Every structure is written in structure tokens, then in C-alpha cells.
Amino acid sequence: MWRQELVRELSEAVNGEKDVVMTRYAAMSGYSVASLYRIAREHGYISGRGVRKDKGSVCLTDEQVEFVGALIHTSAREVKGVIMDVDTALSIAVDNGVIDKGSVSVSRLRTILREREMGRAALNTPDPHIHMRSLHPNHVHTFDASVCIQYYLRRGTGLRIMDERMFYKNKPDNFAKIKRKLIRYVLADHFSHTIWVKYYLARGENQADAYDFLVSAWRGGKHARFPFRGVPDFLLMDAGSANVSKAMLTFLGRLGIEYPKSMPHNPRRQGSAEVTQNIVETKFESRLRFQPAHTVEDLNAWALDWCVWFNGEKKHTRHGMTRTECWLKITSEQLRELPSDEVLQNLFANPEVERTVSGSYSVSFMSETYDVRHVEGLIPHKSKVRVTLCPFLWPEVTVQFHDVHYQVQPIGIVAGGFREDAAVIGAEYKSKPESVAQKAKKRMENLAYGEERVKNAPAFEGITAMGIHADKVWREYLPKQGEAVTLTASCELEERRVPVATVIRRLVERMGTVPREVNVAIRDVYGTSMSLRDVDRLMEMATEQGELLLGDIGPVDDGEDVGVAVG
């Protein structure tokens, strides 16, 4: 090889011939002279020159080296890794006065960084990791969703395989035209690595599909030869928006499932799911080239068929068993069955509700009634408690009042639809415990009426409550002098009439008697009614004279003022 020839020619070269040799090999190989000397030394070339006295010394301070290393490290992309070279980093350091220009060459700086494990190769090396294990089947499940870039739904023709000549990174507009993507959800049991896969058509990952997928994975009963089912203790998943929504996390928490709360964008944490995605792509989806599915329903039916076969027949290299055989090692204590759909729906939508305590010391939740008379401090029709669904204990629930939690069983229903705790008419009597308000009312009634209450006796008998208020006013007031209000006769007074019979009665009251001739004269002159002015004049004359004469009877002149007494 040319490397051995290079070593031989360099060893034999004298009087400046080495430069000619290196120039020739640099032109042939494309390597720099420095790189060719390094290659020659790696293949046994010894120059015979003395070792420099300053070999191994560093011309830069630790802070300067760290600055260059930090530039290179922080320029890295999330996926591609370090992209800045040493030459660029040195240029930035010189421009900013961190390193003096000409104090170090690029090759020397590259060597320094490599010796300190700060070079490109060292920075691109994955972080050290530890191996993790699960304790038993269903201890840990890994969950992941991915857009299936090989397939899409074409209107009118069903599911189609993408043409790589039309869908690739340089034609992003073609991807944008696909409104509904094919989303592949996978779940794997970490202990046995049992696989479950299901496809959905959607604009992207969403909460509803994630919920449906997890429920379908944990429900079981999909196939007689695929026994996998049950709720895990721990669920490893990425930090996608659908997965970490408040409703989804609350749902998982109520099922007693723990989930990672840190280290987002850490694929190694859920490596089992990543491996599962690759297995599904290579061992299941690759078959679709020869038998394409036209609907998602067909695709999911085939996916179930493949899961039954792959989990039941293919042995896993770690435990040496098929995945189904390994999963069947689960014990009854480790298998947590998923609750009913009704419980799950309420667990997802209304896991915790507030209820007002009824007059019978009960609350209702999900068509069940619960007796809470044993909860301390409740006031009927007023106190509010929080009812929490317990999915694995249903229909038992948790009732919270004043930060105290109580486990409560529902009240049973007997024949006729009656509550089981209802008293039988004529056979028994049951009473509810006295409320705080009832106890207070009893104490107050005993204080007001005494222990032995007498029928119709007033409360606080003998107490003085009336006839004492005027004495509490200590000041006496001088009477104020005012003027009498008079009303001038007007058309309104003229219009008002008084029956003659009423006037005769008043005159009798004033004088004691009215002679017959006077009575007849009044009726002849005034008719059946009189004006107020005529009435006042007659009443005034009867008062002053003690009697009425025939000459006193007659209408009042228009210019005469009549005083009408008020009151």
C-alpha cells in the first residue's frame, strides 16, 4: 500500500528530499502534509529528530480552551450534533479578544481539544447510560405514536402507499396536501416485550386517539390467542401535547399509573417503544407493498392478526421465550383489570365532583347514592363534599370533607326500588343523627322554655319586653307653635256635595234636635245634596246659636269666604 511506500521513501530521503516526497503524496492522496506525517508515524516512520523541549506544554489557559470548547458544544443541533469546526471557533475567540491572534494554530488547538475530550468526536458521543429492568409483566409499559410516512389516505381510493419520488424532503408541499395522516400507535410490555399496534386517521396526534388506543390495549379480549391485557404500574411515554394534557395525566393518575415527570426528548428512556416502531415497520408494514390495505379498518384487522402471530411465535432474545409465553408469567396480584367503559368515561371526564349533602345525609354519584351520616360536621342542604371515583374499587368512592377522606359504599336498592336502609313502615323506626343546627336549636329551646316545656307557655316566661321603651328617652321637648292650614273655596270645593240626610244627622248630633219645619225648609232649598260651603255655614250657625231658624236657611253668596275646618 501507498502508506508503506511513503514510510520507506521518507526514511531514505536526504538533503531536503522529504519535502519533495510529501508534496508528491499530498497531490496524489489529497491529505495535508501534517496529516501525511501523522499517517507515516502511525505506520512506523521515525524522523530521528530530537523531541522539542516544550512538547506537551499548552500555550493557552484553561479558560481559553474551555471557551473554544463551549463554542463548539453549544453550536450543536439537537439531532445532528456538533456542526462548528475548530477553525471557526478559534476565529470567534480571536475576534472577541479571548485568544490573541497567532498565539495558537488550528491544528494545535484541535490537538489540545482532542486530548481533553472536548473535540467533535468526544462531544458527539452519546451520554453514558444504565440498563433498566422491569419486575414482572405489566409492571412497565412503553407507549409511542408516530406519523406513518409510507402511507396516506387518498380521497376516493382509500389507503395509498407514498411514492418516494413525490414525497421527500425537497417537496414539502406534497406532504402539506395530505390533510389526514396515518398515525401509528404502539405499546410494548417492557418485561415480555409483548407488542400492540393500532392505526388512526387524523390531522395529528390527539388526546382522543391516545385515550382510545390505551383503553383498547389494556382492555384485552381482542383475540382468543392474544391474552395480553391489564393496566400497568408505570407508563413510559414522550412529552407530546396529547400525552401530557391535564385530562390525560389525571386519567392515568386515577388509574394508579405513574409516568415520567422529567427528561423530555429522551428516546433512550422509552427505547422499547422505539424498537417496537422499527419492528412494526420492517416486519408488518413491509408486507403492505404486496397486499395494500384500502381502509384503516382493514389495516387494523391485519395488524391484530400479525400481533397474534408475532407475539405468539417469535422468541425474544433476552428471555428466550415467545412474548406471549413470557407475559403469561403474570400473577393474579400483578394483573390489574381495566374498569368498565362507564367508569373510564367518568374517570376521564369527571374524576372528581362536588356534591351538596341532602336532607337525608346522602350524596349521589354516577347513578349511585351514598350515605355520609358518619362524616363529622356535615350540615344538610349546606355542606359540600368532594366525591372521587376509585376505578379499581367501584362502586366504592372516596368522600372528602375538610381535608379528611372517607371510603364510602353505595346504598343498596331492594324490591320496589326502595333504599336498603329505609325503615319498614309499622315495623321499625330510624332517625338520622342530629345536625349541628338541630343540636343548637335544641339547646336554645331548652334555654327559652326549660327542660320541661309547658303547653302554650310563652318563651322566657316572666321576661319584660314591652312597656319600657318610652322611659329610655331621657329628654322632654317643648311643644312647637304652628299655623293652621286654611283652604280657600274653589271650584273643586263647589263641586263636592254632601247628602242632605247626612247634614240633618250631623245637625241633630250638634243641636240635639231639628224642628220639622227646619228639616222641610232645608230639603226644599237644597234638594237632595248640599255644597260643602253650605254645610259649613249651617254647622257654624247651629254651634253659635244652638238652633237654626228658617231665616238662616239659604245658599251662600258667591263673594262670601267660607272657612272650612280641617280635621
Q: Where are the domains of the chain?
A: 2-42, 62-123, 140-327, 341-417, 491-552
pLDDT, residue 233, reads 93
Sign of CA dihedral 234, 240, 246, 251: negative
pLDDT at 157: 52
Unique residue bearing C-alpha cell 231639628: 514
- The DSSP secondary-structure symbol of 368 reads E
pLDDT attached to residue 167: 44
Query: What dotted CATH number matches 140-327?
Result: 3.30.420.10
pLDDT at 243 (0 to 100)? 59
Compute the distance between CA of residue 248 and CA of residue 548 in angstroms, rounded to an integer: 105
CB 351 within 8 A of CB 250: yes
Query: Over the stretch 87-121, which tens digit does the pLDDT of each residue have?
Result: 888 889 899 988 888 888 888 888 888 888 777 66
Residues of the chain below pLDDT 50: 129, 156, 163-172, 174-177, 241, 263-268, 491, 493, 560-567
Concatenating the DSSP letter of every residue in 234-279 gives EEE----TTTSSHHHHHHHHHTT-B---S--S-GGGGHHHHHHHHH
Q: Which are the contacts of 235, defined by CB distance < 8 A and separation ≥ 6?
A: 140, 141, 142, 143, 252, 257, 258, 259
CA-based angle 271:213:146, to the nearest 5?
A: 45
Neighbour tally for 71: CB within 10 Å:
19
The pLDDT, as a whole number, for residue 567 is 28
For 338-392, write each residue's pLDDT tens digit. Answer: 888 877 777 666 667 788 888 778 888 776 788 888 787 788 888 888 887 666 5
Q: Say what the pLDDT of residue 108 is.
A: 85
Give me the sign of the Cα torsion angle 527, 531, 537, 538: positive
Question: What one-character-per-residue DSSP string does 127-180 give?
Answer: PP------SSTTSEEEEEEEEEEEEEEETTTEEEEPPTTTSSTT-HHHHHT--S
pLDDT (0 to 100) of residue 20: 86
Contact in structure between 328 and 364 (CB atoms under 8 Å)? no
pLDDT of residue 313: 94
Stated pTM of the model: 0.51
C-alpha distance from residue 88 to each of 58, 91, 98 (Å):
20, 5, 14
> What is the reported pLDDT for 189?
94
The rounded distance, in Å, linking the Cα atoms of 229 and 499 is: 104
